[in-house]
Amino acid sequence: MAYDSRIMRAALEQYQADLTARKAERQRRIDALCQQVPRLAEIQRELRGTAGRAVAAAFRKGVDPVPAIQALSRQNLALQRERAELLVEAGAPYDLMNSEPACPSCRDTGFTQEGPCACLMAYYTKEQNRELSKMLDLGSQSFDTFQFSYYDDAPWRELGISPRQAMEKIYDECRDYAMEFGPHSGNLLFSGAPGLGKTFLSACIAREVSGAGFSVVYDTAGHIFAQFEREKFGREAPYEEDAGTEVNRYLNCDLLILDDLGSEMTTIFVQSVLYQIVNGRLLAGRQTIISTNLRPQEIGERYSPAILSRIQGSYQIKVFFGRDIRGRR
């Protein structure tokens, strides 16, 4: 699984900020309770004292330290019980003054020996969804809100199937793709006229795959090609992320969703970049979804037969057809 460095950095910053805020709030509550119930402060001092005496007993020469340590341990437990009772009487959690971490798996570091902890990955997913929501309506676009009623039931004579039947099949395949996403999920090409649900289904997939902890990048073809151009020719753009960072995200994320291919001005440079993206991600075993108003044969004519060959050989092609549903919605 690949992690987007920019998203992970933002997730870590928020994770640490929330951890610091929780600790500060906990300490504020403890200080207020100690003022309200002075005995709590006394117990805290006594607990620290028993810990120090236990260490001293363990290293005392010529004396068996076990009985002393056992006695101090009993004293310590009695103090903890008294503290818990006082906290509950004051309306606070009984374990408020314990120093145990909120996450026992990583002990509030965000990482385990296997990698990022689940507690940190929850922040990663939130940050990634926030990034995706800049261009996709993840709030309302989900598999649960997809409506087939916008698609006509009447079969198209030349295809022998209705737009609704076709969309039901595409929907099922996209849902399975999202729910079972992994390194061997393969690639998708959404081809069809505007207003048929290509971007909506892209958002549905992005939402589910991101929620499973994978790195997802969604962007329009025009902006992606512009970032490659900035990276190659060193052109700066105000308010834009570093072009090299963005290019790295496009090439190395677990799932790249390249939307609206064909809307950009096609140049030799664009053809070269598209081949680099398609071929490079195939060789790296990274998954890609391309959405376009072009028919597959038009992709070959506009970009190159080599690109079309890669797509036809390694992508599942989903053809969208019917009447534009945007007005009907």
**Does any domain span residue 314?**
yes
Looking at the fold, whether 86 and 188 belong to one and the same domain comes out as no
Res 178 pLDDT > 90: yes
Is 145 in the same domain as 79?
no
If you average pLDDT over residues 78-101, what whole number do you get? 86
Confidence of residue 68 (pLDDT cuts 50, 70, 90): low
Q: Token pair of 100, please?
A: 């145990």
Report the candidate in 219, 197, 99, 91 with the shortest Cα–Cα distance to residue 145.
197
Note whether residue 329 is domain-resident. Answer: no
pLDDT greater than 80 at residue 182:
yes
The 3-state DSSP class for residue 157 equals coil
Residues 156 and 302 in one domain: yes
The pLDDT of residue 239 is: 47
Structural domain count, the chain: 2
Confidence of residue 46 (pLDDT cuts 50, 70, 90): confident
Q: Are 100 and 106 in contact (CB under 8 A)?
A: no
pTM (2 decimals)?
A: 0.73
The model's pLDDT over 145-165, given as tens digits with 9 standing for 90+, comes to 899 998 999 998 888 899 999
Q: Are residues 266 and 150 in the same domain?
A: yes
Do 274 and 138 belong together in one domain? yes
Residue 144 lies in a domain: yes
106 and 165 in a single domain? The answer is no
CATH number at residue 196: 3.40.50.300
* 234 and 177 within one domain: yes
Name the domain boundary from 43, 78, 111.
111
Q: Does residue 140 form part of some domain?
A: yes
Residue 193: domain span: 133-320
Same structural domain for residues 83 and 176?
no
Average pLDDT, the chain: 87
Banded pLDDT at 311 (limits 50, 70, 90):
very high
CA–CA gap between residue 281 and residue 76 (Å, rounded): 60
Q: Provide the pLDDT for residue 133.
A: 74
- 24-41 pLDDT, tens digit per residue, is 988 898 889 989 989 988
**Band of the pLDDT at 171, cuts 50, 70, 90?**
very high
Together in a domain, 154 and 282: yes
Same domain, 89 and 150: no
* Whether residue 305 has pLDDT greater than 50: yes
Q: How far apart, in whole angstroms, are the C-alpha atoms of residue 160 and residue 174?
A: 22
Within 8 A by CB and 6+ apart from 182, the residues are none
